[in-house]
């Protein structure tokens, strides 16, 4: 905008200067003035030129005084050009520095991208490590629980050892009371047997087995003729046999016969090492049911009547065992016949002659546990076919 104004001013001044120079030249030409010996016409031309130069110089001077831009355009152009060149050089340097800075920024962006990827990888590894830590923590907790369980088992074993030591001391006292080396129970002998109900409850099964073992423990002290005020356990049963018996009680819907038997000869004062057996206590013979019947020809006996009757009782024992009644492990017997009844039965046999029938009937219900209690009937043989049919 300033340049346009300057052009307009210069144009106006040029016109003004032309008018003034023309007027001045005309006046000088009319007066015929001569300068420096020149002709009036040449003098008029010279003065006109000088006047134009002076007016132009005055105009430029006034503009210079009035405008900084004019002064700069007239007198500071070289300086301005040098400044422009310097600025151009600085601009080139700044552009180079900027390009270098942009390159550094790009490198930093690439590095930042790599760091971001490393961060994601580390976060994934951290997540995996946290999961692993949680798993290890759970396993550690499980191991600690197992250690606690083992510690409790160890304490229980230590307590059992203490109880065994107390029992050993008590039984040793019993050994001094009973004559030295007396065998209380022989190998396989039944210390105690009892019938208990089957149950689906684990706690009830444990209680019923505990009752059997406590009864066996009392039987041992009774055999020694001692009391047990401190409730010392004189018998020992393997843990796996106790668990098997408890399982048998839980899986049975009928009565169970539990027998506690010695594993080896038990000397007074020693802990009785035992085993536990469990059998279903089934009904084998009903009350008054015929157990065994035998025809005896008294006229052709090879032995006496006593031996013949004892053989009859042995046959009854074999049949009872074959039907499922558990015999005594030592004697093999399943019951006992009253001595008075035995004498009376043999006496009746001796009063008869010829062929007789001896019949054994169940004296009350007989189960697997026994004992086999019988009543014997002796009668003369009348009709053998009728006897066999019955």
pLDDT for res 389 = 44
Q: Report DSSP letters for 82-114, one per residue.
A: HHHHHHHHHHHHHHHHHHHHHHHHHHHHHHHHH
* pTM to 2 decimal places: 0.48
Please determine, for residue 267, whether its predicted confidence score (pLDDT) is greater than 60: yes
- Asked if 269 and 171 count as a contact pair (C-beta separation under 8 A), the reply is yes
pLDDT for res 300 = 82
- How high does pLDDT run on average in the chain? 78
**pLDDT tier at 178, thresholds 50, 70, 90:** very low
Q: Which residue has the higher pLDDT, 14 or 313?
A: 313
Gyration radius (Cα) of the chain, Å: 69
The pLDDT tens digits of the residues spanning 304-328 come to 888 888 888 888 888 888 888 888 8
Please determine, for residue 229, whether its predicted confidence score (pLDDT) is greater than 70: no
pLDDT for res 73 = 65
Q: Mean pLDDT across the stretch 200-207?
A: 84
**pLDDT tier at 151, thresholds 50, 70, 90:** confident
CA angle 215, 190, 364 (to 5 degrees): 85
- Asked if 261 and 274 count as a contact pair (C-beta separation under 8 A), the reply is yes
What residues does each domain of the chain span?
Answer: 2-75, 178-281, 284-389
Q: Mean pLDDT across the stretch 379-386?
A: 69
Please determine, for residue 275, whether its predicted confidence score (pLDDT) is greater than 80: yes
Which residue, chain included where needed, has tokens 């006046």? 27
Burial of 291 (0-12, 13-18, 19+ CB in 10 A): buried
pLDDT for res 194 = 84
Please determine, for residue 63, whether its predicted confidence score (pLDDT) is greater than 70: no
Instruction: Show the tokens assigned to 355.
Output: 């062929």
**pLDDT tier at 176, thresholds 50, 70, 90:** very low
Q: Mean pLDDT across the stretch 1-11?
A: 63
pLDDT for res 179 = 42
Please determine, for residue 382, whether its predicted confidence score (pLDDT) is greater than 80: no
Which residue, chain included where needed, has tokens 């039965």? 345
The pLDDT tens digits of the residues spanning 80-106 come to 778 888 888 888 888 888 888 888 888
Helices 68-75 and 40-66 sit at what angle, rounded to 10 degrees?
Answer: 120
In the chain, the percentage of residues whose pLDDT exceeds 70 is 79
- What gap in Å lies between CA 302 and CA 299, rounded to an integer? 9
pLDDT for res 177 = 46
Please determine, for residue 239, whether its predicted confidence score (pLDDT) is greater than 70: yes
Strands laid side by side in the 235-236 sheet: 190-196, 256-262, 272-280, 235-236
Q: Mean pLDDT across the stretch 208-219?
A: 86
Please determine, for residue 388, whether its predicted confidence score (pLDDT) is greater than 50: no
Largest Cα–Cα separation, the chain: 216
Q: How many CB atoms neighbour CB 14 within 10 A?
A: 14
Q: How many CB atoms neighbour CB 325 within 10 A?
A: 21
Give the lowest-confidence range in 42-51, 62-71, 282-291: 62-71
- What gap in Å lies between CA 343 and CA 373, rounded to an integer? 16
């Amino acid at each position: 905008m300033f340049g346009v104004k300057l052009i307009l001013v210069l144009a106006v001044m040029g016109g003004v200067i032309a008018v003034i120079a023309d007027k001045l030249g005309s006046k000088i030409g009319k007066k015929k003035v001569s300068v420096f010996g020149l002709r009036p016409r040449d003098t008029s031309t010279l003065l006109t030129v000088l006047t134009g130069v002076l007016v132009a110089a005055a105009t430029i001077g006034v503009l210079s005084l009035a405008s900084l831009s004019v002064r700069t355009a007239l007198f500071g152009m070289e300086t301005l050009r040098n400044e422009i060149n310097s600025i151009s050089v600085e601009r080139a340097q700044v552009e180079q520095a900027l390009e270098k800075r942009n390159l550094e920024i790009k490198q930093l962006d690439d590095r930042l991208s790599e760091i971001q990827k490393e961060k994601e990888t580390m976060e994934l590894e951290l997540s995996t490590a946290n999961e692993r830590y949680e798993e290890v923590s759970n396993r550690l907790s499980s191991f600690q629980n197992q250690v606690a369980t083992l510690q409790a088992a160890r304490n229980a074993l230590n307590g059992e050892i203490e109880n065994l030591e107390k029992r050993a001391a008590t039984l040793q006292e019993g050994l001094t009371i009973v004559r030295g080396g007396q065998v209380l129970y022989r190998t396989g002998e039944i210390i105690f047997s009892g019938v208990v109900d089957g149950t689906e409850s684990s706690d009830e099964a444990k209680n019923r087995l505990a009752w059997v073992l406590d009864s066996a423990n009392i039987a041992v002290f009774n055999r020694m003729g001692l009391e047990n005020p401190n409730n010392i356990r004189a018998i020992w049963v393997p843990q796996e046999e106790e668990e098997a018996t408890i399982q048998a009680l839980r899986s049975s819907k009928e009565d169970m016969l539990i027998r506690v038997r010695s594993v080896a000869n038990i000397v007074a004062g020693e802990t009785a090492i035992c085993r536990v057996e469990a059998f279903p206590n089934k009904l084998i013979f009903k009350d008054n049911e015929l157990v065994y019947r035998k025809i005896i020809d008294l006229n052709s006996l090879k032995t006496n009547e006593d031996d013949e009757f004892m053989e009859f009782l042995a046959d009854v024992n074999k049949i009872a065992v074959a039907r499922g009644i558990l015999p005594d492990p030592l004697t093999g017997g399943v019951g006992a016949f009253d001595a008075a009844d035995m004498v009376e039965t043999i006496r009746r046999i001796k009063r008869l002659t010829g062929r007789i029938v001896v019949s054994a009937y169940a004296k009350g219900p007989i189960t697997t546990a026994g004992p086999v209690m019988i009543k014997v009937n002796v009668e003369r043989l009348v009709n053998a076919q009728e006897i066999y049919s019955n």
